[in-house]
Amino acid sequence: MRALDLVSIHAAGSGHPGGTLSVMDIAAVLFLDEVRYDPADPRWEGRDRVFFSAGHKAPALYVALVEAGYLGEEQAVTLRKLGSPCQGHPHAPALPGVEVSSGSLGQGLGIAAGCALAGRMAGAAWRVYCIMGDGEQQEGSIWEAAMAAAHHRLDNLCCIVDKNRLQIDGPVSAVMSIDPIVDKYRAFGWNVLTVDGHDVGKLQEAFRAARAAKGRPTAIIADTVKGKGVSFMENQAGWHGMATKGLEQLDQALREIGSPSCTPEHARKLLAAADGFQQRAEKALAAELPRHGRDWWWNAGADLKVEMVPTRTGFGACLAKHGDDPRLVTVHADISSSISIADFEKNRPERLSRVVSVGIAEQNMMSVAAGLALEGKIPITGTYGVFAAGRPWDQIRTTICYDRLNVKIAGAHGGISVGADGATHQALEEISLMAVLPNMTVVVPCDSVETERLARAAIFDVQGPVYVRYAREATPVVTSETTPLQLGAANVIRYRGRRPSFRDAFETVFASAYEGEGEDLAIAACGPILCEAMRAAVILKEEYGLETRVLNVHTVKPLDVEALRRAARETGAVLTSEEHQKGGFGNLVAAAVCGCAEGALAFDRLGVEDRFGESGKPWELMVRFGLAAEHIAARAKALVDSRARREEA
């Protein structure tokens, strides 16, 4: 199981080997000894229920399902690939044997408690199991569920804590100590057992003891080793979310594990199967990209070259540059390096006294930030956008926005282009969630340079809450330090002809200073998809002779209403583009331009069509979800053509 786990993560190029190796013995005992199930009838009513609350350890669940007969090895090694049932975090509708989708930490125990209650109401004999990580115990929702389970005396519920003592930011004890975890669960009224999480016999004994306990739920605290079985991974936080680099390193790991069935030779066959799956996915995807006269993809030709840099680096650069201001305090909720907030204190130890770690606890992060703001600090919070905007929304609304507290929120990894982590980590709703809040400013920069500049403005030029949405993957750099930029003021970007550099092929001015040139349409966009709108402008001009006014609406709230209305009046056709659920940005633009055009306005919105994301490579997902420049150009051409037909009629 450990060997197949590492092969699947290697084939994916990303994943979580450290935690999957630490939890593997637990998963093996559960699925091969403890749990009752029927792979021929995955929804068999008499089955025991297993919830993987620690959804990032999905590969361990998948290889357990292989051993249990739910899927084959060749399916497991399609992990995180486009179209695979083995998503980056478990997706229950896609894979029989998975009880519920997971990936947002801290929710599984509450679900398990509700399931156990339903079982008791039905007089059922089946049991409920919930696997959690130790860092996950930092989420407050865990303790709400623990209290409820004990209160309702759910002796048909057993939770297992994989206590490997490490999380992304380092030792759990340093990030946010959870100990004495045994005493805490006992104080909540649980039957608590401690066990060596790598001793199969002891795990079997613990599960038998859990079944025998009456009148209260059981918590098994399993002491484990992160990266268990591979010498260079054991007890190393850096292997939390990183695949093996190259076949030599994979082979070394496989030799150390010593599986008689999953040898390096067998691994080659599985990797070949994974490659075949990938090639078929790419072939199918190619058919989904609208075709124009030539290939206009990024850096595909001899000219219009562009540099690719992750926007998150701009956020980190801003904090590094301006972090000496004594009012600034960064509040970390794990994943600090991933979102670049740790650049604030990187190589600057004197700033560590202004770094506050709250662990995996986004709701508490916002409340702590509110308290810091009340005392004159400028707290800068940050995590993935799904957790920054969604999970603590009430704290943001009622505590931060209502009192107009000076809290800055970094919503990292925004959009579908987050990639292989899948739907649970792809933030597609935050513009709507944040823009609806009174007193909230929302900025969505398009590239790393604009991210650095807008982050500085958000921190120092706005007295009140600001949400900064930025992306994870490398995206085109289309602005510079000299590009006109003012918070709240949209820019007009015009294509001026092919140049060696993509950025130099465009002219950018403040919308307020722009004089219309009789363009055929306007495309309004925010965030990295602006770069796709610019590339669409190239396609529209070079292929169809259409002139496009591209609007960079980097400040979504307050919206530059006049710039949008002028574009509507002067072009008569407006298309919005967003890497977000369609309408989060587009509906704001629609409200701004409604009724302002002379005559009928041709208007359309492009975005994610009322669906969740999926695993895949970032650029694959831009194509799969219809967000690439080729899609924008095709939609824009159709919009202009429809207007022409109406005018002729």
What pLDDT was estimated at residue 649?
A: 75
CA 304 to each of CA 201, 207, 493, 534, 546: distance values in angstroms, whole numbers, following the listed order: 63, 62, 16, 11, 18
Q: Residue 378: what pLDDT?
A: 98
Which stretch of 15-19, 200-204, 355-359, 600-604 has the lowest confidence by average pLDDT?
600-604
Residue 284 has pLDDT above 80, yes or no: yes
Domain boundary among 449, 476, 503: 476
Q: Give the integer Cα–Cα distance in Å for 638 and 536.
A: 13
Find residue 132's DSSP bridge partners. 161
Q: Which two tokens stand for residue 33?
A: 């000894």
Residues 432 and 524 in one domain: no
Domain boundary among 476, 498, 528: 476
Q: Per residue in 448-461, pLDDT tens?
A: 999 999 999 999 99
| Per-residue model confidence (pLDDT) at position 334 | 96
pLDDT digits (tens, 9 = 90+) for 184-224: 999 999 999 999 999 999 999 999 999 999 999 999 999 99
362 catalytic per annotation: yes
* Average pLDDT of the residues in 368-376: 98
Work out the burial of residue 451: count CB atoms within 10 Å of its CB; fewer than 13 is exposed, 13-18 middle, 19 or more buried: buried
Asked whether residue 628 falls in the same domain as residue 532, the answer is yes
Query: Quick one: pLDDT at residue 598?
Result: 67
pLDDT digits (tens, 9 = 90+) for 412-440: 999 998 999 999 999 999 999 999 999 99
User: Which H, E and C letters describe 311-350, residue by residue?
Assistant: CHHHHHHHHHHHCCCCCEEEEECCCCCCCCHHHHCCCCHH
CB 130 within 8 A of CB 101: no
Number of Cβ within 10 Å of residue 214's Cβ equals: 8
Q: Distance of CA 509 to CAs 488, 557, 572, Å?
A: 14, 20, 21
> Residues 134, 75, 268, CA angle at the centre, nearest 5°?
95
Mark whether 113 and 227 lie in a shared domain. yes
Confirm if 577 and 524 have CB atoms less than 8 A apart.
yes
CA distances 211 to 132, 334, 507, 521, 596, Å, are 19, 35, 70, 68, 69
Clarify whether residues 443 and 552 are in a common domain. Answer: no
Q: Which of 51, 64, 152, 40 is nearest to 101 (CA)?
A: 51
**Model confidence pLDDT, tens digit, residues 112-155:** 999 999 999 999 999 999 999 999 999 999 999 999 999 999 99
Q: Is residue 280 part of a domain?
A: no
627 in the same domain as 508: yes
Q: Beta 166-167 vs 170-171: how paired, if at all?
A: antiparallel
| Domain, as residue range, for 51 | 17-72+88-236
Count: domains in the chain: 3
Residue-wise pLDDT for 289-327, tens only, equals 999 999 999 999 999 999 999 999 999 999 999 999 999
CATH of the domain at 204: 3.40.50.970
Q: What is the mean pLDDT of residues 249-269?
A: 97
Question: CA angle at residue 376 from 371 to 381, to 5 degrees?
Answer: 55
User: One of 73, 345, 362, 430 is an active-site residue; which one?
Assistant: 362
445/498 same-domain check: no
Residue appearing with tokens 């994916």: 12
Which tokens sit at 134? Answer: 């130790």
Q: Check whether residue 228 and residue 339 sit in a common domain.
A: no
Whether residues 53 and 147 fall in one domain: yes
Reading the block at residue 498, the tokens are: 């092919």
Q: Give rounded-to-5 percent helix, strand, coil for the chain.
A: 45, 15, 40
pLDDT category of residue 648 using cuts at 50, 70 and 90: confident
Q: Which amino acid is at 503?
A: R
Note the pTM of the prediction, 2 decimals.
Answer: 0.97
CATH of the domain at 501: 3.40.50.920
CB-CB contact of 172 with 165 (8 Å): yes
pLDDT of amino acid 5: 98
CB of 278 within 8 A of CB of 44?
Answer: no
Note the pLDDT of residue 597.
65
Contact criterion met (CB below 8 Å) for 164 and 19: yes
- Higher per-residue confidence, 226 vs 417: 226
Judge whether 262 lies within some domain. Answer: no
DSSP secondary structure, 511-547, as one string: GGG------SEEEEE-TTHHHHHHHHHHHHHHHH---
Supply φ then ψ for residue 34, to 5 degrees.
Answer: -90, -45
Do the Cβ atoms of 360 and 135 come closer than 8 Å? yes
Residue 301 lies in a domain: no
**Of 96, 104, 33, 36, whose CA–CA distance to 61 is shortest?**
96
Give the helix/strand (H/E) hosting 137.
none
Mean pLDDT lowest among 66-75, 205-214, 597-606? 597-606
Q: What is the pLDDT of residues 501-526, one digit of tens each?
A: 999 999 999 999 999 999 999 999 99
Q: 472 with 521, same domain?
A: no
